[in-house]
Chains A and B, each alone.
Chain A
Amino acid sequence: MRSDNFLESSITGILETTQDWLAEFGGILMFLGSFIYWTSKPPYRVREIFRQMDFVGVQSGMLIVMTGAFTGMVSALQGYNGMSRYGAGSLVGATTALALARELGPVLTGLMVVGRVGSAMTAELGSMRNTQQIDAISSMAVAPIQYLVSPRIIATTLTLPFLSVVFGFSGMVGAYIISTEYLHIDAGAFMSGIKDYMTPNDVTQGLIKAFVFGFILSLVACFKGYNASGGSRGVGVATTKSVVLSSVLILFSDYVMTTIMF
């Protein structure tokens, strides 16, 4: 009897969750549709885009440099630890470069930007929604999607590849310092390893990933904020969900893209 109830309630639970997910997915698709519609229509808010690029890019610079450097240093240490076991320790420059360009740069930049920028976007738009500021924009015959959402998504999507390059470069500087100063690898060997093994394609793949991650995280952040309801608590919930969903989608799409571009 009890197990019957348990089974029943878990099944309805699963069904409801599935339904919620589908509704959410549909909501995001519709939101994407109106983003495309309004972005294609003038006026093109170039000034707003630059303002957002400053927020997403310039103001994240230090964070990305720091996290990039530490990631590069750790990658060099761990890579050396593994590769020196079969005598390939001097190739640590090449492997770190490949890892940073193809994977760590875009993914970690994406996740860091989710935390710093995506959350802020959701919270800001959510609070604008709850204090009727978005309604005020509509009432003044301005399309809020065009005014608020388009610049944020465009700016984030265009900026993330740059941040990913900064991340990768900082990582390589960190890796270089660790390799030459601490692991005593010859600087020439470190550099030539990179030159011999890294191809432009590795960099391109990373840039494509970063571009897609930027789009996903800003789309989710704006969607969650734009549709936030229920006062301050609602904004808090929306922000948490935005960060979780963006992070999951970044890792998921990373897998998909890696499979396709392998």
Chain B
Amino acid sequence: MIQVDNVQKRFAEQEVLRGVSFEVKQGSITTLIGRSGAGKSLLLRHLIGLDQPDSGRILIDGTDIVGMRTSELNGIRRRFGVLFQDGALFDSMSVRDNVAFPLREHTKLSEKEILDKAAQKLELVGLLSHGSKYPSELSGGMRKRVGLARALALGPDLVFFDEPTSGLDPITRGAIYRLIESTHIDGEITYFLVSHDITGVMAISDEVIMLHQGRIVAQGTPEGFRTNPDPVVQQFLLGSPDGPIAID
């Protein structure tokens, strides 16, 4: 599905990605973990083609999207759903229109069908009654959920979630995980998550990948992660301030 091959990216003096390679299996739920500032969001932007790596390849279903023309890239992006870390909602549009946006752009549905579908997605994230509000009138967690509804609106077969549960209360968080699991179809739909919520992602992921100091330091099943002997991985899982990872 997704193959990342030796991707490097630097900003002036700072080398953020120093040769990242990994693979995401078709139809899996794969989660990327790593410290704040490790470059997870940046890596995600590369996978969507929003940023270009300095070197390396990114293959989506075997096609290298690095340096691809926008019009060509859009053909691939049509299958994507993306939840940005801060929601990235259109603040000039109501919640309902935000969710309807991808439907208006890429389907030939009638206005009524579009609104029905948008309402259905909003119900999924528990925000049906807030459809006519504007993003500035929502709480942070509500914005995130609208972003989630928008990302799932077209029924995409590859969805990128940048921290889908951060800033949510425990009950909503549980509901979001349930939503992720229930909309995911094993073997068909691929979900790629970025998250700091170790317990949550261990429960729902098929694969976990850890990004540390610009490289992938571990990849495997949640079980394999728990028993991974690498002290870096263990310190991260335990959330301990003592260990090989220095706090800078």
Residue B80 CB within 8 A of the other chain: yes
A88 interfacial contact with B, CB 8 Å = no
**Residues 122-153 of A contacting B (Cβ, < 8 Å):** 124, 128, 131-133, 135-136, 138-143
Rounded to whole angstroms, the CA-CA distance of A124 and B71 in the bound complex is 25
Contact between B48 and A139, CB atoms less than 8 A apart: yes
B74 and A136 within 8 A (CB): no
Within 8 A of A (CB), among B49-78: 49-50, 70-71, 74-75, 77-78
Taking the closest CB of chain B, its distance from the CB of A53, in whole angstroms, is 17
**Per a CB cutoff under 8 Å, which of A124, A128, A135 touches B45?**
A135
CA gap between A177 and B80 in the complex, in Å = 63
Ordered nearest first, which 10 A-B pairs have the shortest CB separation?
A141-B77, A136-B88, A132-B88, A139-B82, A141-B74, A141-B78, A140-B102, A139-B48, A135-B50, A142-B105
User: Which A residues are in CB contact (< 8 Å) with B112?
Assistant: none
Q: Are B80 and A139 in contact (CB under 8 A)?
A: yes
Supposing A131-B91, A142-B105 touch, asked if A136 and B84 sit within 8 A by C-beta, the answer is yes
Q: Across the two chains, which residue of chain B brings its CB closest to A136?
A: B88
Q: Which residues of A contact B101 (CB under 8 A)?
A: 140
Residues of A within 8 A of B74 (CB): 141-143
| Docked CA distance A41–B70 (Å) | 13
Q: Report if B90 contacts A (CB, 8 A).
A: yes
In the complex, are the beta carbons of A141 and B80 less than 8 A apart? yes
The verdict on A140 contacting B105 (CB below 8 Å), with A135-B45, A135-B50 known, is yes
Complexed CA–CA distance, A143 and B77 (Å): 11
Question: Which of A124, A131, A139 is within 8 Å of B86, CB to CB?
Answer: A131
A141 touches B106 (CB 8 A): yes
B211 at the interface (CB under 8 A from A): no
B50 — which chain A residues lie within 8 A by C-beta? 135, 138-139
Q: List the A side residues contacting B71 at CB < 8 Å.
A: 41, 143
Residues of B within 8 A of A135 (CB): 45, 50, 84, 88
Chain B contacts of A138 at CB under 8 A? 48-50, 70, 77
Interface size on B, residues (CB 8 A): 23
Contact flags B184-226 to A (C-beta < 8 A → 1, else 0): 0000000000000000000000000000000000000000000
Interface residues of A in 220-257 (CB under 8 A from B): none
**Shortest distance in angstroms between B148's beta carbon and chain A's nearest beta carbon?**
13
CB distance from B192 to the nearest CB of A (A): 13
A252 to B101, CA, bound (A): 41
Given contacts A139-B48, A141-B74, are A132 and B84 in contact (CB under 8 A)?
A: yes
Binding site for B on A (CB under 8 A): 41, 124, 128, 131-133, 135-136, 138-143
Q: CA of A5 to CA of B102 in the docked complex: distance in angstroms?
A: 58
Min CB distance, A56 to chain B, in Å?
Answer: 16
Distance of A238 Cα from B75 Cα, bound (Å): 32
Closest-by-CB residue of A relative to B85 is A132
In the complex the two chains form, what is the Cα distance from A132 to B106 in whole Å? 21
Report B-chain residues with C-beta under 8 Å of the C-beta of A128: 90
Closest to A41 in B: B71
The contact sample of 17 A-B pairs, CB cut-off 8 A, is A124-B92, A133-B91, A135-B45, A135-B50, A135-B88, A136-B84, A136-B89, A138-B50, A138-B70, A139-B50, A139-B77, A139-B80, A140-B77, A140-B82, A141-B77, A141-B105, A143-B71
| A34 and chain B: residue at smallest CB distance | B70
The residue of chain B having its C-beta at the shortest distance from the C-beta of A144 within the complex is B70
Interface centre among B77, B80, B88 (most CB of A within 10 A): B88
- Given the complex of chains A and B, what is the CA–CA distance between A49 and B71 in angstroms? 22
| Distance of A174 Cα from B70 Cα, bound (Å) | 52
CA distance A41 to B77 in the complex (A): 18
Name the B residues within 8 Å of A133 (CB-CB): 88-91
How far apart are A240's CB and chain B's nearest CB, in angstroms?
Answer: 22
In the complex, what residues of B have CB within 8 A of residue A143's CB?
70-71, 74
Contacts of B82 in A (CB 8 A): 136, 139-140
Shortest beta-carbon distance from A131 to chain B in Å: 6
- In the complex, besides A132-B84, A136-B82, A139-B80, 10 extra interface pairs with C-beta distance below 8 angstroms are A41-B71, A131-B91, A135-B88, A136-B88, A136-B89, A136-B90, A138-B48, A138-B70, A141-B105, A143-B71
Contact residues in A for B84 (Cβ distance below 8 Å): 132, 135-136, 139
How far apart are the CA atoms of A143 and B75 in the complex, in Å? 11
Give the shortest distance, in Å, between A226 (CB) and chain B (any CB): 14
**Chain B nearest CB, measured from A68 CB (Å):** 30
